[in-house]
Every structure is written in C-alpha cells, then in structure tokens.
Amino acid sequence: MSNHATAPESALRHRVYRQLEPVSRDAYGLSPANRLIVTLIVLSVLAAVVESEPLLAAGHESVLHAFELACGVVFLVEYLLRVWVCVENPAHGPGWRGRLHYMRSAAAVLDLVALTPLVTSLIGGEAFVLRFVRLLRLLRLARFGRLSVALTHLREAIRSRAFELAASLWIALILLLITSTLMYLVEGRAQPEVFGSIPRAMWWSIVTLTTVGYGDVVPVTAAGRLLAGCTAVIGVGLVAMPTGILASAFSEAVQRHRRREGGGWKDAH
Amino acid sequence: MSNHATAPESALRHRVYRQLEPVSRDAYGLSPANRLIVTLIVLSVLAAVVESEPLLAAGHESVLHAFELACGVVFLVEYLLRVWVCVENPAHGPGWRGRLHYMRSAAAVLDLVALTPLVTSLIGGEAFVLRFVRLLRLLRLARFGRLSVALTHLREAIRSRAFELAASLWIALILLLITSTLMYLVEGRAQPEVFGSIPRAMWWSIVTLTTVGYGDVVPVTAAGRLLAGCTAVIGVGLVAMPTGILASAFSEAVQRHRRREGGGWKDAH
Amino acid sequence: MSNHATAPESALRHRVYRQLEPVSRDAYGLSPANRLIVTLIVLSVLAAVVESEPLLAAGHESVLHAFELACGVVFLVEYLLRVWVCVENPAHGPGWRGRLHYMRSAAAVLDLVALTPLVTSLIGGEAFVLRFVRLLRLLRLARFGRLSVALTHLREAIRSRAFELAASLWIALILLLITSTLMYLVEGRAQPEVFGSIPRAMWWSIVTLTTVGYGDVVPVTAAGRLLAGCTAVIGVGLVAMPTGILASAFSEAVQRHRRREGGGWKDAH
Amino acid sequence: MSNHATAPESALRHRVYRQLEPVSRDAYGLSPANRLIVTLIVLSVLAAVVESEPLLAAGHESVLHAFELACGVVFLVEYLLRVWVCVENPAHGPGWRGRLHYMRSAAAVLDLVALTPLVTSLIGGEAFVLRFVRLLRLLRLARFGRLSVALTHLREAIRSRAFELAASLWIALILLLITSTLMYLVEGRAQPEVFGSIPRAMWWSIVTLTTVGYGDVVPVTAAGRLLAGCTAVIGVGLVAMPTGILASAFSEAVQRHRRREGGGWKDAH
C-alpha cells in the first residue's frame, strides 16, 4: 500500500512501522512492540502514583527512580523510531517534510511532552509538576487498541447527540445559577461563611444537583431546607438527563460499528 | 411577508426587526445584534455573581458598577427598539395596540423586570434583592437560538409524558410522607431535635430518597437504620423513575424535530 | 346497567352511588363528592403533619382539633353512604350479604381504619400512634382518579418485569451480604463500634450501595477504602439496574394503555 | 435418558439424583430436597450474621452452635449424596472417574469449602475467618432455581456488552487517575493528610465519581472546589454509563430468553 521504498533500510523501516503503528494491525490485537509500550506506560503511571505516597515509596526510591529512567529511555527510543518510520504512512507525506508534519500531530506532541520527565529526572526538577507530566502518559494509551476504538465510539456518541448534551448542560448551568442565587438569598444571613455569596452557594448547589451530597455545607433554616428539597428533586432529574442520553448514544455507536464491521475492515495491510 | 409599510422609517424598522427578532433567522445562528445582547446578558450575570463575593469584588467595585450601568443602558435601548419594531410581527397587530399587546407578553415583561436594576443602581436600592433581579436576566436567554429550541423540546418532552411524570411525582410525594411519618414514629424519641416531628423527618426523607445523603441527619437506632435502608432501596427506584422517563422523552422530542427539519423550515423571511 | 331497583329510595341510592364510586365515572374526572373527599383527605393529612411540629401548631391546636373532628364526621358519613350504596355494584351482590362482602374489601377496611382517629379524638388516645393512623388516610387516595390509574400502571409494570426485578433485588441482597461481611473482616478491628459485626457493617454497605453516602460511617484503613471503592463501583451498577428496568416498564405500561384507550372505555354508565 | 444401570441401587441413585439435581427439574420449581437445602443455606447464613453481633447472639450461643452443627451435617450428607449420584449426569462420565470429574467442578469445590466450618466447629478454629467461609455458602444458592437463571441472564448480558462495559470501566479508571492527580496537585498543600499523595486523593475521587459523597474528605480551596464540581458533573455522566448499558442488556437477555422459552424446554426428563 505504501511501498514506495526498496532499499534494505526502507524494508527495515516498513517492518518497524508495522510493529509500531496501531492502525496497521487489527483494531483489537496489539503488536508485540506496542504491547510492551502499553505495559510500560501503565507501569510508569503506577510508579508515579506509588512514588507520590511516602508510606508506599519509603525505601524503594532508588528502584522507582531507576525504573522511571528505564521507561524514559524506552519512550525516547520509541519516539525517535516513530519519527523515522512515520513516512510509511501516506497521510504524512515523504521525507523530512512528512516527519515534521507527523511531529506537529497531537499524538506526537503528547509523546514529546511525556518525555520531559526523562530530562528533568537527569537534571533534577520540581517533583510536584513532574508527577503530573508523568501521568499525562496515560493519555498516550488513547491511541492503542481497544481504548482507541472505545474513544472513537464515545466521540461519535457525543457528536451524534451534541445538541441534546449541550442543551442539558446549558439547562443544568442555568439551574445551578438560579438555585445558588436563591440559596444565597434565603440562607445567606444564617450561614454567611458558606452561603454568603453566590459563588460560595454554588459549591452547595453543584454538590446537591449531582447528588454527591458531601454534607460539609447544608441549609439549616426551614426555608433553606424547603429550597434544598426542591433543588434535589428537580435537579436530580435534569442533571441526570445527559447520562441517559450519553449511555444510549454510546450503546448505539458500538452496535452500529459492529454491524459495519460485519463488512470487514480488519487489517489494512 | 410582513411588508405592510413603505416609508423609509418602516424600511429601517424592518431592518432592525430582522436584527432583533430571533425567530426571523435560522434557529441556530444568531444575528450580530442578538449575539451582542446574549454576550452582555452572560457577562452581566457573571458580574452580579462576582459582585456578591467580597473576595472577588474587592477593589473592582467601580468597574463592576460602571459595567452594570452600561449593560442596563444597552438593555434599555434594546427594550425600546423591540417595542418599536414589534409591529413587524403580524402576531401582535399594527400600531400602539400591537405594541401594547407585545408589552404584555411574558418575554417583554421579563425584559422590563430585568431593567429595574438600572433604575435602582441610579437611585440606590437593596443590594440583596437587586442581585436576584439581575440574575433573572438569565431567563432572557431562553428566547435566543439553541437554548430556545432546547427548551421547546424539553417542554414538548414534559407534555408528551405529563401523565407518567405527574404520577411519579405523586408516588414520590406519598412515599416521602409515609417514610417521614414512619421515621418520626421510630426515631422521634431517640433524636427529637431532628426527627421529633413529621416536617423535621421530611428533611431526612427527601435527602435520602434523592440519594443526596448529606449525612447531617442520620438514624442511630437499629429500627431507624432498617427503615432507612428500605427507604433508600425502594425510594431510589421510584424517585429515579421520572429521570429515565424524561431523558428518553427529551431524546425522542429532539429526534422527531430533526426528522421534521429534513422537510426544512430554516428562514421564514 | 345495575338498575334492579325502582323505589324512590333506590333511585336516590343510585344517584349517590354515581357520586361516590370513582369507577362509575371517567377515570380522569372526579365527581364533585369525590373531589370534596380527596380535598379533605389531603387537608387532614397536612393537618396531621402540621400538628406534629410544635413550632407550627402552637396556638392553632383548637382549630386543628376542630378541623380533624369535622373531617372525621365527613369520612364517617362517607363510609356509611358507601356501605349503603355498594349494592349498586353487581360485584358485591344484593342486600346485606353484598354489604358485608364490600365491608370485607381492602378499600373498605382501610376506610374503617382511617375512621379510628375520630373515636380516639373524642375519648382521647395516644397521639403518637394516632398520627400514623391519620396518615394512613393518604393510602385512600389510591382509589381516586389519576393516582389509581398510575398505580394500576405501576403494578402492571412491576408484574411484567417481576422476574428481572426480583433477580436484581436478590443479586443486590447477596452483594449486600458479601460486601458487609468483607468489610467486617477488613475494618472490624479498626472500628469495632461501627464495623464490629456483620449487621453493623450492613448499615455502611446499604448506604454505599445505594450511593446515599451519609458519611456517618466510613472506612479508615487502606484495605477498607479499597474495598469501599470496589463496592461503590460494582454496587452502583447492580443496584441501579432495577431503576432502569422499572422506568422503561412503567413507560411501556402507560403507552400500551394509551393505545388501548383509543378503543374507548370512558364511562361505563 | 441416563438409565445405564438396572440394579436396585441404581434405581435409588436415579431417584436421589432427580431430587438433588436442579437442572433435572423445571427451572422455576425446586424439588423438596433442594427446597430444604436452600432453606438451610439461607438460615445458616442468617445464623452466621446474627452470631457476629454480640447484642443479638448473647444467650443464644449454644442454640446457634447446635444449629450450625446440624446444618453442617446436612450439607455433608448432601455432598456425599451428590458425589454418589453425579454419575447419573452423562457430562461427568461413569464410575469413580466421573465422580472425580464432578468433584473438580467449581460447584463441588465450593460445596466442599462450605463444609470446613463443620470440621473447625468440632476441633475449634478462628471465629473471624470461619464466619467468612460460612457466608460463602451464600454463593451455593447460585445454582438453584430462579437465581441460577437470573445469573445466567446477567452473565449473558455482560458478555453481549463486554466491549462497552470494559471501555466504560477503562474510561472511568483513567478519569479516576486524572482527577485524583489534579486534586493532589491543587489541594495537596492545603490538606496534606487527605490529598497529600495520589493514592490518598483517589479515595476522594472514587467517592465523588460514584456520587456516594461521604463527605469525610472534601476540598476546601476555591480551585479544589471548582475541580470537584467539574469532576462531579463530567464523572457522573461517564461513571453512570455502564449502569444504563447493563440494565438494558439484562432486560434484553431476559426478554430473548422468554421468547425462546415459548419453544419450551421445561423438564429434560
């Protein structure tokens, strides 16, 4: 399909490409190279999570650091290989032009950002922000195998009901403003600390409308409780609407895809 | 269509009308004038929200006041223009009669109410109530573009399932009364402060049936907890029923509309 | 239809019957007599609710007592009239035999129970239990108009999905037992007061599985929190299942009925 | 059908087999022997629950112990009988080979594990772990009557939507990681005790995403509350997705089965 190179280098490049590019394989099975990368991404994220908790990391700092370094090197090699082989994909075009085109794609930029912890772990850096960058690697999973398919379906589901979802969110937002204003008017004098302004009352409002109900902020006056009851009943129905819409749209998208798949598009190569 | 005027004043009026009247344009795209008004409504509501919180407003009072004044003037001009051009809409009839007919419509009354902050900000007034009126402007958004379409669909959805929704609410209300009475009987002696009367027990009941669960009021006796468990299980199912009904009705209303739209009704003019 | 009496007494009885029997009218419109009774039921329940709260009832005790007495007398007259006219309904058969048959029906027994507050308010009685009996009157609403139709639909919906609902409840119950046992094993030593036995851990379990989440009892150990997280995720899905099933079954039942109604069964007389 | 024995022993074995094997009867009605076993399972689990709570068990220890012993003996006899008659089922094959094949099945192993409390109650053992084993008996219910049918449907429902459910769980997991990392970055300094590491922040995250909302851990900074609000809104929708998917799949599986059942498969014998 994209066989416009005959030199041995090109043959090798094509083999590497087929190992690295998820789209060149069946959507569900990953190539061995990609399986390794996915495993390393998951493990390096877990390492970052563990490292943040002193009780878990105590005594294992050097092991975790070495593992992070190893992951960083593998991801660097992966990045360089991807840049090298990207020209196999006709979408990017040939030569360094194609490579630059690839490097400007969202996926490649994310790959590059996910490499920064390697640099900072060598020269030292702020552990706090660093950890966040290491967790960004999680987003790289989005282009592998099943998860990429699932996200495609989810995106399709959201797009097919964009209007309903946006409308529900708008109505929820307006409901949020109205209930928090009313609560501020009704309960503001009794509990100025938590209902003394509209932005403060919004915290209560969102916690109630989503039925999370932490209970750190609750109305104490009779009028406030009456209003809270109405907010809960009306709000529950309206805020839960997007959920129902999204669930059925997602199910539909998957089923639609399954029927199409019957007409096969397994392996492009 | 409604071209029953030939003088230059009338031509101008028609142009202004087409700028202001949302219905005279495609339901999804707003005219430049309306886009400005929607932006100002959103910003003036945000300003009212910010102003209520001393931590945010401190030092910006004069800017916020000036902005509120400017919004008020724009909304006043908009109101006067709408009254002037409303006769272009055949629904209101010609002349001052038509204008009075328009001024008595819900939308126009709301526009007028939303203007009161302008008056009170000039002559001074109670900040507490004033802020609420300023937030009423939010409701004016209901007649612009997508939100007006969404609300039409929601109203249609509610009407198409009016019986199911009303029945669910009735059942929920009766459940609320029964559970709070039982809880008052069971837990009233142990916690007279919060379960010592049926209205007090209702607060617990509504917080539990909607699964908000603040936790400020919880049963402590074994019988009370048994009752609370049953309330949660039975209640969850019955109170969540309207949500499922509303979500599917709303989805249906939007899809029905989309199919009809295929037969076009883009721009009436 | 049931005109097997020609004496003037019988003609009057038939007129009274048509006023009292909801089924003899269109399902949606109530006769004036029934409208009065429904109103009195709602008001007497509200009075019982208000009376239980000293802050609301203070100073109005004699008014509330008089109103309760008046309601009781009306309900007594209604009961006697219903016993008198029930023979008009062929389902009960003629004469005192039919009347005894009617008096043994669930609705008539409920009517009689709802009369006991009248007796006890005259001779004095335990206010605590009395109030509950007064709230039982609420259940009498079940045979009037729309609510009776709604309950019929709900019963039909539950019956049509009896297997799914029973299965979901069974699975939920087993889940409740398993999670509370695990939590008792994991968290019992750390918090013996609230997780020290399986029945105690059940309180936490049911509050978590229904997502009410009061927060009066929460795990504090790492293992307990891990278990609570799994309980919340798995449990939410399984416990919410009956809700989805019931909502769709209820919607279906109403729609089925609406289609049938097209073939008319408005007024039997 | 499986009548490959003619001796009186074999005839008795066949009769016992038809009493014990649920599959040899209609899926809904249980044989008298199985009804006894199901009752004993439920009662022995209830006894284990009661025994764990000193307030309930006090004074009844010897009765509970005797009952547990009796249950254990019945379950032992049942186990031995099942091993004896299993060869009637062609799936296991004849003779001791077939018996060993049966004894290695999951159901038989579970039966054996459920017997260990009998041994330990005779020789004494750790009450804590013992109680858990006794509750495992609950899982034995899975192969009797309606519950076995329901679990078959649930398994079918999960399998038919395996992709959607797995994808939703993956997305939920990634959301969990992202929100807890963000919260750790935003709120970690203000509340190091509960947001000071990613694993700690996860507790808050899972409690919020499932809308349980205990309230033992809540953000206090403005940025933290903004993030919590977004988490609640976005998360509610995504985490609730599997619920909707599972509920509809379960309903479908039951209905599909009901239609097939029309073609009858009541009693294999």
User: What is the H or E stretch that residue B2 is in?
Assistant: none
Q: From the CA of A85, how many Å to the nearest CA of chain B?
A: 45
A69 has pLDDT over 50: yes
Enumerate residues 6+ apart whose C-beta is below 8 A from C25.
Answer: C18, C31, C267
Calculate the alpha carbon distances from D222 to B52, C105, D219, D269 in Å: 15, 61, 8, 70
Q: From the CA of B81, how many Å to the nearest CA of chain A?
A: 27
Calculate the alpha carbon distances from D94 to D79, D85, D88, D107 in Å: 18, 10, 8, 19
Contact A174, B141 (CB under 8 A): yes
Confidence of residue C227 (pLDDT cuts 50, 70, 90): very high
Chains that touch A (3 or more CB pairs under 8 A): B, C, D
Mean of the per-residue pLDDT values of chain B: 82
* C-alpha to C-alpha distance for A109 and A227, rounded to whole angstroms: 49
**Predicted pLDDT of residue D128:** 66
* C-alpha to C-alpha distance for A187 and A197, rounded to whole angstroms: 10
Mean of the per-residue pLDDT values of chain D: 82
Chains that touch D (3 or more CB pairs under 8 A): A, B, C
* C-alpha to C-alpha distance for D103 and D110, rounded to whole angstroms: 10
Amino acid at D50: V
Residues A113-138, mean pLDDT to the nearest whole number? 74
Residues D141-150, mean pLDDT to the nearest whole number? 80
**Predicted pLDDT of residue C150:** 82
**Predicted pLDDT of residue C123:** 63
Q: Which residues of C touch D117 (CB under 8 A)?
A: none
Q: From the CA of C170, how many Å to the nearest CA of chain D?
A: 8
Amino acid at A161: R
A160-164, C84-88, C262-266, D12-16: the lowest-pLDDT one: C262-266
Rg (CA), chain B: 25
Contact A235, A209 (CB under 8 A): yes
Enumerate residues 6+ apart whose C-beta is below 8 A from A198.
Answer: A177, A180, A181, A184, B48, B49, B52, B53, B131, B135
Digit-coded pLDDT (tens) for B135-190: 888 888 888 877 788 888 888 888 888 888 888 888 888 889 989 999 998 999 89
B207 has pLDDT over 90: yes
Q: Which residues of C touch D54 (CB under 8 A)?
A: 197
Chains that touch B (3 or more CB pairs under 8 A): A, C, D
Q: CA-nearest residue of chain A to D189?
A: A128
Q: Which residues of A touch D212 (CB under 8 A)?
A: 212
With the C-alpha atoms ordered C20, C24, C29, C31, is the resulting torsion angle positive or negative? negative
Q: CA-nearest residue of chain A to D170?
A: A147
Buried b (16+ CB within 10 A) or exposed e, B139-172: bbbbbbbbbebbbebbebbbebbebbbebbbebb
Query: Token digits for B54?
Result: 């001393």
**Predicted pLDDT of residue B2:** 43
- Residue A30, classed as helix, strand or coil, is coil
Asked if B150's CB is within 8 angstroms of A171's CB, the reply is yes
Digit-coded pLDDT (tens) for B210-229: 888 999 999 999 999 999 99
Q: Which residues of D touch A172 (CB under 8 A)?
A: 233
A126-135, B14-23, D86-95: the lowest-pLDDT one: A126-135
Q: From the CA of B241, how many Å to the nearest CA of chain C?
A: 5
Digit-coded pLDDT (tens) for D230-244: 998 877 777 667 777
* CB contacts < 8 A (A, D): 116
Asked if A141's CB is within 8 angstroms of D198's CB, the reply is no
Mean of the per-residue pLDDT values of chain C: 82
Looking at chain C, the whole-number percentage of residues with pLDDT higher than 90 is 23
C132 touches chain A (CB under 8 A): no
Q: Which residues of C touch A213 (CB under 8 A)?
A: 212-213
B170 touches chain C (CB under 8 A): yes
Which of D44, D51, D52 is best to mutate for the C interface (most C CBs within 10 A)?
A: D52
A225 touches chain B (CB under 8 A): yes
CATH label, C159-261, candidates 3.30.465.10, 2.20.25.90, 3.40.50.970, 1.10.287.70: 1.10.287.70
Confidence of residue B3 (pLDDT cuts 50, 70, 90): very low
Asked if B240's CB is within 8 angstroms of A185's CB, the reply is no
Asked if A240's CB is within 8 angstroms of B240's CB, the reply is yes
**Predicted pLDDT of residue B166:** 84
A1 has pLDDT over 50: no
E strand segments, C144-197 = none
Residues D206-222, mean pLDDT to the nearest whole number? 91
- Chain centroid, CA D203 distance in Å: 25
B197 touches chain A (CB under 8 A): no
Check residue B33 and give left, alpha or beta (phi > 0: left; psi -120 to 50: alpha).
alpha
What single DSSP character describes residue A211?
T
Query: Nearest CB to D213: which of A50, A150, A213?
Result: A213
* CB contacts < 8 A (B, D): 7
**Predicted pLDDT of residue C202:** 94
D8 has pLDDT over 80: no
* C-alpha to C-alpha distance for C144 and D141, rounded to whole angstroms: 43
Enumerate residues 6+ apart whose C-beta is below 8 A from C195.
Answer: C183, C184, C187, C188, C201, C204, C217, C219, C224
- Pick the closest to residue A133 from A121, A145, A143 (CA basis): A121
Digit-coded pLDDT (tens) for D150-203: 888 888 888 888 888 888 888 888 889 989 999 998 999 899 999 999 999 999
Q: Which residues of C touch D196 (CB under 8 A)?
A: none
Residues C89-110, mean pLDDT to the nearest whole number? 88
Asked if D215's CB is within 8 angstroms of B214's CB, the reply is yes
* C-alpha to C-alpha distance for C13 and C204, rounded to whole angstroms: 58
Instruction: For chain D, give the DSSP string.
Output: ------SHHHHHHHHHHHHH-GGGS-SSSPPHHHHHHHHHHHHHHHHHHHHH-HHHHTT-HHHHHHHHHHHHHHHHHHHHHHHHHGGGSGGG-SHHHHHHHHHTSHHHHHHHHTTHHHHHHHH---HHHHHHHHHHHHHHGGGSHHHHHHHHHHHHHHHHTHHHHHHHHHHHHHHHHHHHHHHHHHHTTT-HHHHSSHHHHHHHHHHHHTT----SS---SHHHHHHHHHHHHHHHHHHHHHHHHHHHHHHHHHHHHHHHHTT------
Residues C1-13, mean pLDDT to the nearest whole number? 65
Amino acid at C40: L
Q: From the CA of A9, how many Å to the nearest CA of chain B?
A: 55
A195 has pLDDT over 60: yes
* C-alpha to C-alpha distance for B197 and C54, rounded to whole angstroms: 8
Asked if C211's CB is within 8 angstroms of A215's CB, the reply is no
Q: Which residues of C touch B250 (CB under 8 A)?
A: none
What is the architecture, at CATH level 2, of domain A159-262?
Answer: Orthogonal Bundle (1.10)
Q: Where are the domains of chain C?
A: 8-143, 159-261
Residues C118-123, mean pLDDT to the nearest whole number? 69
B211 touches chain D (CB under 8 A): yes
**Predicted pLDDT of residue D269:** 34
Asked if B232's CB is within 8 angstroms of C207's CB, the reply is yes
Contact C247, B245 (CB under 8 A): yes
Place of tokens 């049966």: D102
Query: Nearest CB to D135: which of C177, C222, C238?
Result: C177
Query: Token digits for C143?
Result: 């045979």
D218 has pLDDT over 80: yes
Query: Which of the listed ranges B58-72, B246-260, C119-133 does the model predict with the highest average pLDDT?
Result: B58-72
Asked if A214's CB is within 8 angstroms of C215's CB, the reply is yes
C264 has pLDDT over 60: no
A19 has pLDDT over 80: yes
In Å, the largest CA–CA distance within chain B is 82
C243 touches chain D (CB under 8 A): yes
**Predicted pLDDT of residue B127:** 65
Q: Which residues of C touch D135 (CB under 8 A)?
A: 177-178, 181, 198
Rg (CA), chain C: 25
Looking at chain A, the whole-number percentage of residues with pLDDT higher than 90 is 23
Q: Which residues of A touch D170 (CB under 8 A)?
A: 146-147, 150
Q: What is the CATH number of domain A8-143?
A: 1.20.120
Asked if C52's CB is within 8 angstroms of B197's CB, the reply is yes
B146 touches chain A (CB under 8 A): yes
* CB contacts < 8 A (C, D): 118
Calculate the alpha carbon distances from A189 to A25, A184, A186, A196, B131 in Å: 64, 8, 8, 7, 15
Residues C190-215, mean pLDDT to the nearest whole number? 92
B43-52, B220-229, D17-26: the lowest-pLDDT one: D17-26
**Predicted pLDDT of residue C8:** 76
Confidence of residue D264 (pLDDT cuts 50, 70, 90): very low
B218 touches chain C (CB under 8 A): yes
- Residue B73, classed as helix, strand or coil, is helix
Cα end-to-end distance, chain D, whole Å? 7
Asked if C215's CB is within 8 angstroms of A211's CB, the reply is no
B14 touches chain A (CB under 8 A): no
Confidence of residue A22 (pLDDT cuts 50, 70, 90): low
A215 touches chain C (CB under 8 A): yes
Q: CA-nearest residue of chain C to B205?
A: C212
Residues D69-97, mean pLDDT to the nearest whole number? 89
Contact C185, D128 (CB under 8 A): yes
Q: CA-nearest residue of chain A to D185?
A: A128
- Chain centroid, CA D263 distance in Å: 30
A4-18, B22-36, B140-154, D85-99: the lowest-pLDDT one: B22-36
Q: Which residues of D touch A215 (CB under 8 A)?
A: 213, 215
Residues 25-84 of C with CB under 8 A from B: 45, 48-50, 52-54, 56
Asked if C215's CB is within 8 angstroms of B215's CB, the reply is yes
B267 has pLDDT over 50: no
Confidence of residue C122 (pLDDT cuts 50, 70, 90): low
Q: From the CA of B124, how many Å to the nearest CA of chain D?
A: 31
